[in-house]
Structure 1
Amino acid sequence: MKKTLLTTAMIMALGITGVAGAAPATNPYGLVYNGAITQNVKGQVNIHPVHYTLHGVKIAANVYTPANYDKNKSYPAIVVAHPNGGVKEQVAGLYAQSLAEKGYITIAADAAFQGASGGEPRHLDVPYYRTEDIHGMIDFISKYPGVDANRIGALGICGGGGYTLNAAKSDKRLKAVATLSMFNSGRVRRNGYMDTQLDSIQERLAAATQARADEIATGKVSYAGTVDFDALTDESIAKITTDLYREGMDYYGRSHRHPNSTFTYTQSSLMELMTWDATDHIDLINAPLLMIAGEKADSRYMTEDAFKKATGTNKKELYIIPEATHIKTYYIPEYVNKALDKLGDFYKANIK
């Protein structure tokens, strides 16, 4: 398999939000966020690792149940989609656990071909499958003991936010849709982060096409986005000019590092990514919509663009967290709590 090692300058250009390589997590469930469950205690929020099959691929997920969960009662549920490069044990798990503390049954699953989920080739990153991951979480959680299938909502974080918007266009089982620090993977892979690569779209599409042709001819898969975090230094990280990628390097590579978290993806995936956009037909979303972004996030433009185009719902809100950047909404308590308070009010009002 051919792999490409990116420099920090290339990281900013290509829109990478995750990293390769990590030390093993010490939490018994692999969770790496602060306040994570370390054991299931009766009467408290519990975590339940589960597996299910989606289109022939084994999916690994965690289900969180509220305190004093009783399978004979009726609960609303939330599906949580993780960021590009992320896994269920990081920010998706934090928000899933926190929403369970508010009384919801929640699920966070690793995307097919990524994390602890199955699928070959590894690190395939195609919008169709990432969208199906969300439909699949809904399929599974709707049959979970105690879940009211008529009261299901969604939360998509970063790249998972863009794919959640895509899923919500057609999946009317979702009664409320929310995103946090939404990242439109198609737009960034096509145009570059902050639309800085508009002059090289055709060349990059040609390279992706060649990668696919090589896969067919030789069976060898080419990868992009591979980052050797062990080789990065404080100085090299500090030189990254955008908050998303600079702070992302610290989050994914240091403070919340996980062995399954990598933003390596197949080069041929760009054929699909670059011709897709989270905002295409976004007017088909008619469920209540909440979009959350940090005031100082340099990714904020993607949330604002999607929010403006989401004209199909008569109940939508754009919530800006003061002072927050993209990555800081993942783990800084001040910003996480603000997001969770807003999410709690939103779901309570719209998942009757």
Structure 2
Amino acid sequence: MVKTTLKALAVAAVIAGASAQVDAADYRKNPFTLVYDGAITENVPGKVNIHPVTYKLNGLDISANVYTPANFDPKKKYPTVVVAHPNGGVKEQVAGLYAQRLAEQGYITIAADAAYQGASGGQPRYVDKPQNRVEDIHGMADFITQYAGVDSTRLGLLGICGGGGYSLKAAQTDKRFKTVATLSMFNSGRVRRNGFMDSQISSIQERLQQASNARAQEAAGGKVPYANDVQLTDEQIAKLPFEMYRQGFEYYGKTHAHPNSEGRFTLSSLLDLMSFDATNQIELINQPLLMIAGSKADSLYMTEDAFAKATGTKDKELFKIEGATHIETYWVPKYVNSAMEKLTQFYGRTL
């Protein structure tokens, strides 16, 4: 059983699949269904406010939250940051936390659910193609640069986990982003292709055949097959070999669960995912680049690899949060504070 489950997990980025098993009571206590500590519960004049919005992207309805800083005046111009959420995540989780914290520092921010995921439109559900996720980031820039009060000449980007890998790709060509930061960057293509920590290189062709068969089944009008459509017990979770996955189940399935957050994705998405790599042509990034990761994260190798390959910018920094794992950068107060201190310095200097 565990062997079969691990095979399914190997094509996951950050696991959210257990969320259906656990009652996520916290989201029901927040009128905006936010599930992070310190989340806004009401809009108060003079304070940081949240504005749920919907906009069109390639014919789909995209659901997003815009955060405005304290004493926001739409007639003024503010630096702005686009925040891209992790794989399997939604805007109400860690992306919302960092968006709100940045708004507290005076930025307008936006966090949107990826197309085909969360509260955004798109069928079949949970298509997870890299080109869609990169387009989501371009689309957030399209929308927010038209928002009242936004200074489009001071637009920054923050990508978290899988959103970090897609942010690296988006920033290669989208020079509206004047500065780029990642937190616990996850190179989705590399993991889908090679397995986590390159543990499944021997089965690449087998998994490509499975993805090809899944596309054929969809094209013939059959049932849409999903990867990572698993349910695990606490005992099974404890036996997982990678800390990121163990803590991911805790975060997405228990402590910060949200009903729109699912870790599964269409198996046919692997046709695109497995030929994708966030570091391909990363030398096109000439903007200032900050990459943040936990010093104890078992995903750290992906940030270090991307950072080394980002040779096109002369302004780059790799910042390791001492003692933090991948998932702990999402919510542990002292690690979030450490990341925010660095981000505030970085955006303050580059925007």
Report the TM range for the smaller structure's normalisation.
over 0.9
- What is the rounded CA distance, in whole Å, between the counterparts of 2:45 and 2:233 in structure 1? 43
Per-residue deviation, 1:7: 5.6
- Superposed, 1:52-91 pairs within 5 Å as 52-91=55-94
Q: Aligned in 2, Cα 1:294/1:11: closer, same or farther, shift over 3 Å?
A: farther
- Work out whether residues 291 and 317 of structure 1, in 8 Å CA contact, stay in contact via their aligned partners in 2: yes
Q: Deviations over 1:243-289 (max 9, x none)?
A: 10010010000000000000110000000000010000000000000
Per-residue deviation, 1:13: 2.5
2:95 maps to 1:98? no
2:250 maps to 1:253? no
Per-residue deviation, 1:152: 0.3
Q: Quick one: which of 12, 15, 18 aligns to 2:15? A: 18
Q: Deviations over 1:6-64 (max 9, x none)?
A: 96433543334132325452111010000000000011000000000000010000000
User: What are the ranges of 5 or more consecutive residues in structure 2 without an aligned counterpart?
Assistant: none
TM superposition outliers: structure 1 runs of 4+ over 6 Å: none
- Work out whether residues 8 and 237 of structure 1, in 8 Å CA contact, stay in contact via their aligned partners in 2: no
- What is the rounded CA distance, in whole Å, between the counterparts of 1:314 and 1:46 in structure 2? 36
Q: Quick one: which of 165, 190, 201 aligns to 2:204? A: 201
Give me the TM-score of the superposition, normalised by structure 1.
0.95
- What is the rounded CA distance, in whole Å, between the counterparts of 2:70 and 2:140 in structure 1? 22
Per-residue deviation, 1:159: 0.2
Count of aligned residue pairs for this structure pair? 344
- Superposed, 1:269-348 pairs within 5 Å as 269-348=269-348
Percentage of matched positions with identical amino acids: 63
* One-letter amino acid matched to 2:53: V
In terms of mean alpha carbon deviation, does 237-246 or 76-85 score higher? 237-246
Instruction: Tell me the residue number matched to 2:127.
Output: 124
2:238 maps to 1:238? yes
2:175 maps to 1:172? yes
- What is the rounded CA distance, in whole Å, between the counterparts of 2:100 and 2:8 in structure 1? 31
User: What are the ranges of 5 or more consecutive residues in structure 1 without an aligned counterpart?
Assistant: none
Instruction: Tell me the residue number matched to 1:264.
Output: 264
* One-letter amino acid matched to 1:294: G
Instruction: Tell me the residue number matched to 1:214.
Output: 217
Per-residue deviation, 1:232: 1.8
- What is the rounded CA distance, in whole Å, between the counterparts of 1:162 and 1:48 in structure 2? 27
| 2:263 aligned counterpart, secondary structure | coil
Give me the TM-score of the superposition, normalised by structure 2.
0.96
* One-letter amino acid matched to 2:176: R
RMSD: 1.3
- Work out whether residues 6 and 226 of structure 1, in 8 Å CA contact, stay in contact via their aligned partners in 2: no
- What is the rounded CA distance, in whole Å, between the counterparts of 2:86 and 2:160 in structure 1? 5
* One-letter amino acid matched to 2:169: N
- Work out whether residues 81 and 157 of structure 1, in 8 Å CA contact, stay in contact via their aligned partners in 2: yes
2:151 maps to 1:148? yes
Q: Aligned in 2, Cα 1:169/1:309: closer, same or farther, shift over 3 Å?
A: same
- What is the rounded CA distance, in whole Å, between the counterparts of 1:63 and 1:6 in structure 2? 42
